Structure 1
């Protein structure tokens, strides 16, 4: 009976592995099937490791579809279940996907925190086993993506281990191709289009040789087309446009689909085909708004979570029978905290002065006239079809809105502001993205934080108010969300920021 039971169990594990591999292969072609299968495997796993892998795969498929909240839930479930298992490689994979999700949502500090945890798990030779080697490639690709997000192009290029990619190109074609694509994006962002074309070509060649599928090839084909278009290789990009038109309807990655429509809108605009330009630009704007809304909802959810929701407590950390170790450890911790606190306070004070200086500059700039449409077009790289006069009027209305206090209304939404400004949500969303270089939610949050900072600096009574009152005054729904957003915007917690203002006031007196 024991032998029979072991045989049946092994058979089930083998079947589940085959099902998982099939689901992973469908990630880009049929993400909805991947989600269904991964849900089944997470409920009926052959082992705990299978459950964790299924939840991670489900999260990746959901991210492709733009379902960021469901992806976050799957990753948190995997994280909590995996924390007690001791499986560091699978836990690192969860942290890696979480980092990518945070990066897509614009929550850079949390993305960096998750990546640092992955880095710790790779402290030994990453080539000592295949699973860790695969994780290492994904890790430095994710690190490079984070650096690219911060426009640190040289660091982003150096983060990718080219020799390691060449060594494992045939063993891990998906991961290596993804790294080559990342290099193509970096060089494209740095306007080094020849290098961008080279690495996009490498990614496409590896993808085709390994049979990764048309949906995955689309990432490389878009980068190649962008490089050819920018370098004015007309014969090449004209031959690539028909394939991109097909892929614009077939691909399942919502962000990739948006980027393809954006490129096609650029192309048809350059060709003077206004009808096709408007069609693809409208598709781009619709997808952009869908993604922004999904990101905003997911960001709000993350802001409502505390760090305790993401970490498990280790109640066995200290042993009560080692009194001497306790005393020595406590003394070291106190000294370390004192040193860290002084260092952090000094650094935060420098950040405070820098932020105040930037705020003053912004206020001076806000007194200037709205830039003319010609110069606006030079700055923006985002294609849009808003009449120049309408765009100028909207910019003037936004300036008046920023100089008022309507942004402190809790009921304020993209829709309500668009109505107040006599425009539509697409126009308003694009104007904010283009001229403020941030999404609507981040734009309003920054206005609210700057408003309350001005109150604190100019009206001394505000320095004695509770944080909950400041949150209410600036339009936030809770003390927690205000504190989290305040630190995200300024880099400093509100209590410490207020203490710096009090310090300046006392010195002035």
Structure 2
């Protein structure tokens, strides 16, 4: 009997130990696999700037792990190389799956890529439509897609403030993950966007120079930095210094897959060569430059026609749908008129309108709000505040009452009693408190203009924001921001 008990105990402990070991190995290898996928993705984003052949194989392999993300990276790579027609075909393939969920990260990425190629091809009206959609997208404010900064042109679709925010966010992320190549590129593009005379631009440039000096990064990154420096030198009429920086890349530039950088490089090299009088190689440089430009223009022309045709088809489809809708409406109205339903509808509508007008005329002071209703509305208000929905510009008493499934009189009375202010003052105070909290907690907000802060917290008018802010804080927004810079 004792031997049997011992065997049972031994089996029990052995089973628990094996279970623990299985769990340990699962956690360990799952973590390793996740890290390997991240490394593979970073390698693709890195090599797509300066390699052609290996990148395609890497993307093909990555597509077995993450098909949608691999598809997006492939589009980025094609646009980077100037293969606009192939890139468009890939975007069209992505369109249907992306539009299934317009709140998803995939749809956001699709819009970014679509807007980018519209801008590249000169379809400004279509690019503006995408830009307007992106400016109202919460994912932009979160600046979650830091790898956008690995392709300079992919975030040109955003407005200037969001571009800077994305770059700064990317720099913080790359510092945290020790991504040297990401830091080099983002610092150079931040410096270029801010302008060479900006103090932050100089800091970003120095960071990039320090990183390239202390790393074994590829030739591409050194060329990226020197190309930017050459533009700074040319701006200050120092063509000799610009030429000295660029001349050494004359042979290796042909292997760069980034067509925009390659074009910019040859243009700067041609300008500096002409200014210092080095005409011996100028013909060759000009030939290289114009060959790329002509090739790109031809590619753009084909892709532009292809995209315009696609847009026309989409618009024709929308027009047909609208015509079908109107036709169905007309038929329905006609049938309703014949059957006498219109009379019934109008009669019902008239009675309902009179009933609503009668309720609206009741003096707010003469009604008593049930305790259960009051608690429900207060809970809805708490949820409204916690989710910061007050920064939406279209917030109104009527709209909020509809969302709370109550009437405006109830909501107004509860705000007056529990928030000690009328509805408009209540909303405006929430907005001011929100932006004050952002300024105190996030130093980036202290750099923004007052108009941007007003728009960020939901005010439609810069002057109204200033007035409400001063009433709330006893300081104007400008004065309040200055307190952090002293």
Normalized against structure 1, the TM-score is what? 0.48
Max radius of gyration: which structure?
Answer: 2
